[in-house]
Amino acid sequence: MENWFQGSIVATGRLPLFCFFVALIGAFVATRVNVRLIRAKIGWFRNVNVGEMHIHHVVFGVVLMLVGGVTGLIVSAASQVPYAVAAGVFGVGSALVLDEFALILHLHDVYWEEEGRTSVDAVFIAVAVTGLLLIGLRPLTFDFGTPLAPGALIVANLALAVVTLLKGKIWTGMAGLFVPPLLLVGAVRLARPGSPWAHWFFVGGSSRKMATATHREERWRRPVIKAKIAFQEFVSGRHDLPSTRRRR
């Protein structure tokens, strides 16, 4: 294990990325344990309040990201060790920010509501992307065996990624940044019914494409989504509070 770590992480200059990766996962798990204990009112775990103001942990995350980021800029020319420490601090801050990504997105405290699952999705995506970078994959660099120039290839892959994401295929789009053949599949296949692409191009809720997309969503994606939600809530707790947002 030590030989692998020295050869694959330290010798390749990936120690800062490794520290960021470990800190991101560790801080996310610790944060979720903490908030679940707060929610259950167990022990001395309580929210941080200043007077009547509740201080969300995204605030501490922003501060740590600034500290880690600026420190990383200062020590980047030094050895890997101080740079790795700065990356670890940045990873902790990133976990705290992403854990309340839904709050930033909705500008509303939806932490334990259904919309709060967006935060868990954001953390999972960050962990997955960092893990792929850590094993040496680089985004938008697969050449498909084509004679295209590197710049044109990157633009083509990026365009496919945008189409795939607009079709509502988030995980396919993110994974496709590192394995671009997946982008071809995502860009060609039918869009998900709730995606921007479906809204723009599937004219009318009764259109054949919309009906097909809805049928596929119910038959194939719903079981996968239920399994994903079950795993998310095993890790992060149940998002079961009724939404307090106004329905239109």
Q: How confident is the model at residue 16 (pLDDT cuts 50, 70, 90)?
A: very high
Q: Is residue 244 in some structural domain?
A: no
Q: Is residue 159 in some structural domain?
A: no
Q: Is residue 14 in some structural domain?
A: yes
Q: Which residue has the tokens 């801050």?
A: 93
| pLDDT tens digits for range 126-139 | 999 999 889 888 78
| pLDDT tens digits for range 80-101 | 889 999 999 999 999 999 999 9
Q: Is residue 60 in some structural domain?
A: yes
* AA letter at 88: G
* AA letter at 177: L
Burial class (CB in 10 A: 0-12, 13-18, 19+), 125: middle
Q: Is residue 202 in some structural domain?
A: no
**Would you say residue 235 has pLDDT above 70?**
yes
Q: Is residue 77 in some structural domain?
A: yes
Within 10 angstroms of residue 62's Cβ, the number of other Cβ atoms is 14
The pLDDT mean for the chain works out to: 86
Q: What is the pTM of this model?
A: 0.81
Helix (H) or strand (E) holding 185: helix 181-188
**pLDDT score for 8:** 81
| pLDDT tens digits for range 55-69 | 999 999 999 999 999
Q: How confident is the model at residue 248 (pLDDT cuts 50, 70, 90)?
A: very low
The conformational region for residue 9 under phi > 0 = left, psi -120 to 50 = alpha, else beta, is alpha
**Would you say residue 113 has pLDDT above 80?**
yes
**pLDDT score for 144:** 52
Q: Is residue 225 in some structural domain?
A: no
Number of domains in the chain: 1
**pLDDT score for 165:** 93
Cα–Cα dist 195/14, whole Å: 36
Cα–Cα dist 40/201, whole Å: 46
Q: Is residue 34 in some structural domain?
A: yes
Range of the domain at 120: 1-136
**pLDDT score for 86:** 95
**Would you say residue 28 has pLDDT above 50?**
yes
**pLDDT score for 205:** 53
